[in-house]
Amino acid sequence: MQLNRSKLMMACILTSGLVLTACSKPDAKKDDGTLTATAPATGEASNLTERNSQQRLIQTLQNHFKTAGITAKITDVKPTEVPNLYWVNMQGTNSVYATSDGKYLIQGDVIRLGGKQLSSISDKLQSTENKKHLSSLKKEDLLVYPAQGKTKHVIYVFTDASCPYCHKLHEQIPAITAKGIEVRYIAWPRGEQFMPAMESVWCSANRQTAFDQAIAGVQLPAATCKNPVRDQYQLGLNMGVNGTPAIYNEAGEHIGAYMTADELEQRLNN
Protein backbone atom coordinates (compact mmCIF):
# COMPACT_ATOMS: atom_id res chain seq x y z
CA MET A 1 0.00 0.00 0.00
CA GLN A 2 1.39 3.38 -0.93
CA LEU A 3 1.19 6.10 1.65
CA ASN A 4 0.50 8.79 -0.95
CA ARG A 5 -3.11 9.78 -1.42
CA SER A 6 -5.10 8.67 -4.45
CA LYS A 7 -3.87 10.39 -7.59
CA LEU A 8 -6.44 13.16 -7.86
CA MET A 9 -5.13 15.66 -10.38
CA MET A 10 -7.58 18.26 -9.23
CA ALA A 11 -6.40 20.82 -6.69
CA CYS A 12 -9.95 21.50 -5.62
CA ILE A 13 -10.12 18.00 -4.15
CA LEU A 14 -6.68 17.58 -2.68
CA THR A 15 -6.01 20.99 -1.18
CA SER A 16 -6.91 21.40 2.47
CA GLY A 17 -5.64 23.69 5.23
CA LEU A 18 -3.94 22.49 8.39
CA VAL A 19 -4.44 24.22 11.70
CA LEU A 20 -1.30 25.30 13.51
CA THR A 21 -1.83 22.77 16.30
CA ALA A 22 -1.19 19.70 14.17
CA CYS A 23 1.72 18.13 12.30
CA SER A 24 1.06 17.88 8.60
CA LYS A 25 1.76 14.86 6.47
CA PRO A 26 4.94 15.48 4.47
CA ASP A 27 3.73 16.28 1.39
CA ALA A 28 -37.92 14.60 -7.38
CA LYS A 29 -36.55 12.98 -10.56
CA LYS A 30 -37.09 14.80 -13.84
CA ASP A 31 -38.13 13.09 -17.07
CA ASP A 32 -34.91 14.19 -18.79
CA GLY A 33 -32.85 12.19 -16.33
CA THR A 34 -31.56 15.14 -14.30
CA LEU A 35 -30.81 14.13 -10.73
CA THR A 36 -32.27 16.09 -7.87
CA ALA A 37 -31.25 16.14 -4.23
CA THR A 38 -34.80 16.76 -3.10
CA ALA A 39 -36.24 13.52 -1.76
CA PRO A 40 -39.78 12.57 -2.79
CA ALA A 41 -42.50 12.56 -0.16
CA THR A 42 -42.16 9.49 2.06
CA GLY A 43 -42.25 5.72 2.09
CA GLU A 44 -40.42 2.84 0.49
CA ALA A 45 -40.84 4.16 -3.05
CA SER A 46 -39.25 7.45 -1.98
CA ASN A 47 -36.26 5.67 -0.48
CA LEU A 48 -35.80 3.56 -3.60
CA THR A 49 -35.93 6.64 -5.85
CA GLU A 50 -33.31 8.38 -3.72
CA ARG A 51 -31.04 5.32 -3.68
CA ASN A 52 -31.29 5.08 -7.46
CA SER A 53 -30.42 8.77 -7.78
CA GLN A 54 -27.38 8.28 -5.56
CA GLN A 55 -26.15 5.29 -7.55
CA ARG A 56 -26.57 7.18 -10.81
CA LEU A 57 -24.61 10.13 -9.42
CA ILE A 58 -21.80 7.84 -8.25
CA GLN A 59 -21.62 6.25 -11.72
CA THR A 60 -21.64 9.66 -13.41
CA LEU A 61 -18.83 10.97 -11.23
CA GLN A 62 -16.74 7.81 -11.62
CA ASN A 63 -17.10 8.07 -15.42
CA HIS A 64 -15.93 11.68 -15.31
CA PHE A 65 -12.96 10.66 -13.15
CA LYS A 66 -12.05 7.88 -15.57
CA THR A 67 -12.23 10.24 -18.54
CA ALA A 68 -9.90 12.68 -16.76
CA GLY A 69 -7.48 9.92 -15.77
CA ILE A 70 -8.21 10.37 -12.07
CA THR A 71 -7.98 7.43 -9.68
CA ALA A 72 -10.58 7.99 -6.98
CA LYS A 73 -13.05 5.63 -5.36
CA ILE A 74 -16.34 7.07 -4.20
CA THR A 75 -17.60 5.25 -1.13
CA ASP A 76 -20.89 7.07 -0.61
CA VAL A 77 -23.01 10.05 -1.62
CA LYS A 78 -25.80 11.63 0.39
CA PRO A 79 -28.19 14.50 -0.33
CA THR A 80 -27.63 17.65 1.71
CA GLU A 81 -30.12 20.22 2.94
CA VAL A 82 -29.11 22.39 -0.03
CA PRO A 83 -31.27 21.57 -3.08
CA ASN A 84 -29.42 19.68 -5.81
CA LEU A 85 -26.21 19.43 -3.79
CA TYR A 86 -24.79 16.08 -2.67
CA TRP A 87 -22.09 15.24 -0.13
CA VAL A 88 -19.51 12.88 -1.66
CA ASN A 89 -17.29 10.67 0.47
CA MET A 90 -14.17 9.33 -1.24
CA GLN A 91 -11.59 6.82 -0.10
CA GLY A 92 -8.28 8.32 0.91
CA THR A 93 -9.19 12.00 0.72
CA ASN A 94 -11.49 14.62 2.19
CA SER A 95 -15.14 14.65 1.27
CA VAL A 96 -16.40 17.10 -1.35
CA TYR A 97 -19.73 18.26 -2.73
CA ALA A 98 -21.18 17.53 -6.15
CA THR A 99 -24.07 19.02 -8.05
CA SER A 100 -26.89 16.58 -8.69
CA ASP A 101 -26.10 16.36 -12.42
CA GLY A 102 -22.54 15.26 -11.64
CA LYS A 103 -20.99 18.11 -13.64
CA TYR A 104 -19.36 20.06 -10.82
CA LEU A 105 -17.35 19.31 -7.70
CA ILE A 106 -17.04 21.81 -4.85
CA GLN A 107 -14.17 21.59 -2.36
CA GLY A 108 -14.43 23.17 1.09
CA ASP A 109 -17.25 23.81 3.54
CA VAL A 110 -20.75 24.98 2.76
CA ILE A 111 -21.74 27.05 5.76
CA ARG A 112 -25.24 27.28 7.22
CA LEU A 113 -26.36 30.78 8.22
CA GLY A 114 -29.22 32.00 10.35
CA GLY A 115 -28.18 30.77 13.80
CA LYS A 116 -25.99 32.20 16.51
CA GLN A 117 -23.12 29.99 15.35
CA LEU A 118 -21.92 29.10 11.88
CA SER A 119 -21.92 25.40 11.03
CA SER A 120 -21.03 23.22 8.07
CA ILE A 121 -23.90 21.37 6.41
CA SER A 122 -21.69 18.26 6.14
CA ASP A 123 -20.72 17.98 9.82
CA LYS A 124 -23.45 15.49 10.72
CA LEU A 125 -22.95 13.46 7.53
CA GLN A 126 -19.19 13.18 8.04
CA SER A 127 -19.42 12.38 11.75
CA THR A 128 -21.91 9.59 11.04
CA GLU A 129 -19.41 7.97 8.68
CA ASN A 130 -16.56 8.54 11.13
CA LYS A 131 -18.52 6.91 13.95
CA LYS A 132 -18.91 3.77 11.83
CA HIS A 133 -15.16 3.69 11.18
CA LEU A 134 -14.21 4.22 14.81
CA SER A 135 -16.71 1.69 16.16
CA SER A 136 -15.18 -0.95 13.89
CA LEU A 137 -11.84 -0.69 15.71
CA LYS A 138 -10.85 -3.34 18.22
CA LYS A 139 -9.68 -1.90 21.51
CA GLU A 140 -6.80 -4.38 21.67
CA ASP A 141 -5.47 -2.90 18.41
CA LEU A 142 -5.16 0.57 19.93
CA LEU A 143 -2.86 2.25 22.42
CA VAL A 144 -5.21 2.96 25.32
CA TYR A 145 -4.85 5.24 28.33
CA PRO A 146 -7.86 4.55 30.61
CA ALA A 147 -9.60 7.33 32.47
CA GLN A 148 -8.76 7.74 36.13
CA GLY A 149 -11.91 6.98 38.11
CA LYS A 150 -15.24 7.11 36.28
CA THR A 151 -15.01 7.37 32.49
CA LYS A 152 -16.83 10.51 31.37
CA HIS A 153 -15.58 10.70 27.79
CA VAL A 154 -13.66 8.62 25.25
CA ILE A 155 -11.53 10.22 22.55
CA TYR A 156 -9.77 8.72 19.54
CA VAL A 157 -6.49 10.35 18.56
CA PHE A 158 -4.58 9.72 15.33
CA THR A 159 -0.96 10.09 16.42
CA ASP A 160 2.62 9.79 15.21
CA ALA A 161 5.71 9.46 17.40
CA SER A 162 7.61 11.87 15.11
CA CYS A 163 5.07 14.69 15.44
CA PRO A 164 6.01 17.54 17.85
CA TYR A 165 2.38 18.44 18.52
CA CYS A 166 1.70 14.78 19.33
CA HIS A 167 4.53 15.04 21.87
CA LYS A 168 2.86 18.09 23.43
CA LEU A 169 -0.49 16.33 23.61
CA HIS A 170 1.13 13.21 25.05
CA GLU A 171 2.53 15.30 27.89
CA GLN A 172 -1.08 16.12 28.77
CA ILE A 173 -2.14 12.45 29.12
CA PRO A 174 -1.99 12.32 32.96
CA ALA A 175 -4.04 15.53 33.21
CA ILE A 176 -6.48 14.35 30.54
CA THR A 177 -7.13 10.95 32.11
CA ALA A 178 -7.47 12.62 35.53
CA LYS A 179 -10.52 14.42 34.12
CA GLY A 180 -12.21 11.09 33.36
CA ILE A 181 -11.25 11.06 29.69
CA GLU A 182 -10.08 7.79 28.13
CA VAL A 183 -7.56 8.26 25.32
CA ARG A 184 -7.39 5.75 22.47
CA TYR A 185 -4.42 6.31 20.19
CA ILE A 186 -4.64 5.24 16.55
CA ALA A 187 -1.36 4.88 14.64
CA TRP A 188 -1.02 7.38 11.81
CA PRO A 189 2.61 7.70 10.64
CA ARG A 190 2.85 10.78 8.44
CA GLY A 191 5.08 9.14 5.85
CA GLU A 192 6.68 5.84 4.92
CA GLN A 193 9.84 6.80 6.81
CA PHE A 194 7.84 6.95 10.06
CA MET A 195 6.08 3.62 9.56
CA PRO A 196 8.77 1.36 11.15
CA ALA A 197 8.78 3.26 14.44
CA MET A 198 5.00 3.04 14.82
CA GLU A 199 4.98 -0.63 13.87
CA SER A 200 7.66 -1.26 16.50
CA VAL A 201 5.52 0.49 19.12
CA TRP A 202 2.48 -1.58 18.22
CA CYS A 203 4.51 -4.81 18.33
CA SER A 204 5.95 -4.06 21.77
CA ALA A 205 4.81 -5.97 24.84
CA ASN A 206 4.13 -2.62 26.52
CA ARG A 207 2.94 -0.10 23.94
CA GLN A 208 2.81 2.77 26.42
CA THR A 209 6.47 2.38 27.37
CA ALA A 210 7.47 1.87 23.74
CA PHE A 211 5.59 4.99 22.63
CA ASP A 212 7.30 7.03 25.36
CA GLN A 213 10.64 5.76 24.11
CA ALA A 214 9.82 6.43 20.46
CA ILE A 215 8.83 10.00 21.30
CA ALA A 216 12.14 10.43 23.13
CA GLY A 217 13.99 9.35 20.00
CA VAL A 218 14.93 5.84 21.13
CA GLN A 219 15.52 3.43 18.24
CA LEU A 220 13.15 0.55 18.92
CA PRO A 221 13.73 -3.03 17.74
CA ALA A 222 12.26 -3.74 14.31
CA ALA A 223 8.64 -4.92 14.31
CA THR A 224 8.31 -8.68 14.36
CA CYS A 225 4.54 -9.14 14.56
CA LYS A 226 1.48 -8.81 12.41
CA ASN A 227 0.20 -5.35 13.29
CA PRO A 228 -2.67 -3.00 12.34
CA VAL A 229 -0.60 0.14 11.72
CA ARG A 230 -1.05 0.26 7.94
CA ASP A 231 -4.76 -0.50 8.27
CA GLN A 232 -5.10 2.29 10.81
CA TYR A 233 -3.26 4.65 8.49
CA GLN A 234 -5.72 3.79 5.71
CA LEU A 235 -8.61 4.34 8.12
CA GLY A 236 -7.33 7.84 8.74
CA LEU A 237 -7.19 8.52 5.02
CA ASN A 238 -10.76 7.30 4.65
CA MET A 239 -11.82 9.74 7.36
CA GLY A 240 -9.96 12.63 5.76
CA VAL A 241 -7.15 12.86 8.32
CA ASN A 242 -4.33 15.02 6.96
CA GLY A 243 -2.27 15.75 10.05
CA THR A 244 -1.60 14.70 13.62
CA PRO A 245 -2.82 14.79 16.26
CA ALA A 246 -6.38 14.50 14.98
CA ILE A 247 -8.87 14.13 17.84
CA TYR A 248 -12.38 12.65 17.51
CA ASN A 249 -15.09 12.02 20.06
CA GLU A 250 -17.19 8.85 20.22
CA ALA A 251 -19.81 10.40 17.96
CA GLY A 252 -17.20 10.65 15.21
CA GLU A 253 -16.94 14.43 15.40
CA HIS A 254 -13.53 15.93 14.72
CA ILE A 255 -13.01 18.18 17.74
CA GLY A 256 -9.54 19.51 17.04
CA ALA A 257 -5.80 18.96 17.12
CA TYR A 258 -3.48 19.79 20.02
CA MET A 259 -5.32 21.03 23.11
CA THR A 260 -4.54 21.29 26.79
CA ALA A 261 -6.46 19.02 29.16
CA ASP A 262 -8.69 21.93 30.21
CA GLU A 263 -9.41 22.91 26.61
CA LEU A 264 -10.17 19.32 25.69
CA GLU A 265 -12.55 18.88 28.62
CA GLN A 266 -14.37 22.07 27.72
CA ARG A 267 -14.68 21.02 24.08
CA LEU A 268 -16.07 17.61 25.05
CA ASN A 269 -18.55 19.03 27.55
CA ASN A 270 -19.83 21.47 24.96
H-run or E-run covering 132: helix 123-135
Do 95 and 89 touch, CB atoms closer than 8 A? yes
Q: What SS3 state is found at 144?
A: strand
Domain ranges of the chain: 11-16+28-120, 134-269
C-alpha–C-alpha distance, residues 54 and 37, integer Å: 9
What dotted CATH number matches 134-269?
3.40.30.10
Q: How many angstroms separate the Cα of 165 from the Cα of each of 161, 174, 211, 227?
A: 10, 16, 14, 24
Do 177 and 141 touch, CB atoms closer than 8 A? no
For position 265, what pLDDT does the model report?
97
- Mean pLDDT of all residues in 219-237: 94
Query: What number of CA atoms fall less than 13 Å from residue 131's CA on the CB side?
Result: 11
Mean of pLDDT over the chain: 86
**Higher-scoring residue by pLDDT: 7, 80:** 80
User: Could you list the active site residues?
Assistant: 160, 163, 166, 190
Residue 180 has what DSSP assignment? Answer: T
Local confidence band at 17 (pLDDT 50, 70, 90 cut-offs): very low
In tens, the pLDDT along 98-144 reads 999 999 999 888 999 988 888 888 888 889 999 999 999 999 999 99
Q: What is the pTM of this model?
A: 0.76
Give the pairing of strands 85-90 and 246-249.
unpaired
User: Of 4-13, 79-88, 89-98, which has the strongest mean pLDDT?
Assistant: 79-88
- Mean pLDDT of all residues in 142-155: 97
Question: Packing angle between helix 195-203 and helix 229-238, nearest 10 degrees?
Answer: 120
Do 122 and 109 touch, CB atoms closer than 8 A? yes
Task: Say which residues have a Cβ less than 8 Å from residue 37's Cβ, sequence separation at least 6.
Answer: 53, 79, 80, 82, 83, 84, 85, 86, 100
Q: Which fold has domain 11-16+28-120?
A: Nuclear Transport Factor 2; Chain: A, (3.10.450)
